[in-house]
Amino acid sequence: MDKEAELEARFYLFRLHLRKAANAANRLMKKGGKFSLKVSYKQGQGVTSSFEMPDAKGSTEFAVLMSRFLLPRSPLYLENILDMLSELSTSDELRAFTVKAKASFARAKEGRVTIERKGRRMRSEEMFTEIAQNVYFCGDLVRLEYERELETNPLLKNLYWHTFFEYCLDAFQLLSATNRFIEEKGFYPKHVKREGHCVYCASKNGRFLEVEHIIPEALGNDDLILPRGYVCGACNNRLSSLENDFVNSLPFSLLRIFCTSYGKKGILPSHSYPGAKVEKTSPNSIRYLAQRKDESDFNLVPNADGTYSFTMSVRDHRPFDKITTARAMFKIAIGALAAEEGREAVLDPRFDPARAFIQNGGSFRNRLVMAVSVKPRTSCSVSWGRGVHGGVIVELNLLGAVFIVGLEPDLLVALPEDLLRGTVVWDLWNDSSGPHHGAWTSVR
């Protein structure tokens, strides 16, 4: 990717994520929108304090989204965003704004209140990072230990949480002011000229205004994208329903709750199943709401180390659809190949049958392979190579669910016997409902 295209992509991701944070902020405003810290002293009772937030779920969503801008190692760290502005123009006005904005961010990082903990002064940025790493983006045991430690000093705990959200709000206001300045002054990345040629239908007609998320945003993908010009508006609209069906079916409807921190709209993921609802209440907390009492649905088993193991049983509204799933996998595979190998590589006519299958479904002379065991993970990946018949074989690991597809008809995916025992395989030209190779096992 050349420098101009990289700047275009970074600018898009900045505004995309800021829009999600703004939507979360607006939801908070409707709940009252204020984070309140009260500290009082009464003789004989000492110092008492309390901290209130407008809405626990909404506050969590806002903080999680803002972490993309406030954790120093993030590509969207606020200072990186301000540095990016210098690449948009050499304007003195822009340079002056950037200097002021960096000074404002430096003050926000210092904070309004001086707090000492364990013998050292804690700045707002350090308190934010500490809470993010020990409450939101960590395992349950780390979170519980950290929260118990804070509970030993209620005043410190309330000061920490108030500073945490105050820092989020200060940064959000600065980012919003930056975006307004860009819009008012017209400071945008230089337009990258590229021919409109759709990788999903091979058409050059229509509007090419949308950036394409190769893997659905609902599966946690904010970053793997195709730039404008690669996907036409008609395909972007038509194939969105395919993605919705795909991400709302098992195993993905459950994996996105366990493995992602927010969905396409920046909201903590949830899904309703027949008889139960599963929802994320924070990045490491999940609520299971059964609509009937059935001990077989949810069982807690105590472990020797004080933790618990559990089993969860959910049923989908509809049976697994091999064609919908395969079309979604083909779409992701074509997009990933275009991002890595270039658009011309996937516009090769040998992929035209795959494009027709993505668009229309029906049958395809190749196979969909699915691992029967899912090992949840927080990321997605796509890799490819040549099969024994010479065709392009693509492996997709989507939050731990592994699939293999062959993108060319009649160059079949072939699996050795040992691998076949851990997968189920559908021949996409076969109309019978069940898997056609391998022993079916419920995905777990």
Higher pLDDT among residues 42 and 128, named by residue: 128
Number of alpha carbons in the 13 Å side-chain half-sphere of residue 348 = 13
pTM of this structure: 0.89
pLDDT of residue 264: 86
Instruction: Decide if 344 contacts 301 (C-beta within 8 A).
Output: no
Partners of 51 in the beta sheet? 37
Task: Give the pLDDT score at 294.
Answer: 54
372 pLDDT tier (thresholds 50, 70, 90): confident
Model pLDDT, residue 1: 65
Confidence category of residue 292, pLDDT binned at 50, 70, 90: low
Q: Which of 165-179, 196-210, 281-295 is predicted with the least confidence, judged by mean pLDDT?
A: 281-295
Given a cut of 90, whether residue 259 has pLDDT beyond it is yes
**Least confident interval from 121-125, 157-161, 247-251, 312-316:** 312-316
User: Can you tell me the distance from the alpha carbon of 156 to that of 280, in angstroms, rounded to the nearest whole number?
Assistant: 28
Average pLDDT for the chain: 89
Is the pLDDT reported for residue 296 higher than 50? Answer: no
Q: Give the residue-averaged pLDDT of 103-113.
A: 93
Around Cβ 31, how many Cβ atoms within 10 Å? 14
Q: Please report, in angstroms and rounded to a whole number, the separation of the first and last CA atoms in the chain.
A: 39
Highest mean pLDDT among 83-97, 165-179, 234-248, 284-298: 165-179
Residue 309 pLDDT level (bands cut at 50, 70, 90): confident
Is the distance from CB of 358 to CB of 428 less than 8 angstroms? no
Checking if the pLDDT of 56 tops 80, the result is: yes
- What does the pLDDT average to over 223-252? 92
| Per-residue pLDDT at 326 | 96
Query: Is residue 298 very low, low, confident or very high in pLDDT (cuts 50, 70, 90)?
Result: low
Give the whole-angstrom CA distance, residue 184 versus residue 209. Answer: 21
Question: Residue 45: pLDDT above 50?
Answer: yes
How does residue 295 score in pLDDT terms, banded at 50, 70 and 90?
very low
Residue 319: pLDDT band by 50, 70, 90 thresholds?
Answer: confident
Which residues are registered as beta bridge partners of 368? Answer: 405, 426
Q: Which of 187-191, 288-292, 330-334, 439-443 has the lowest mean pLDDT?
A: 439-443
What's the token pair of residue 64?
Answer: 């999680």
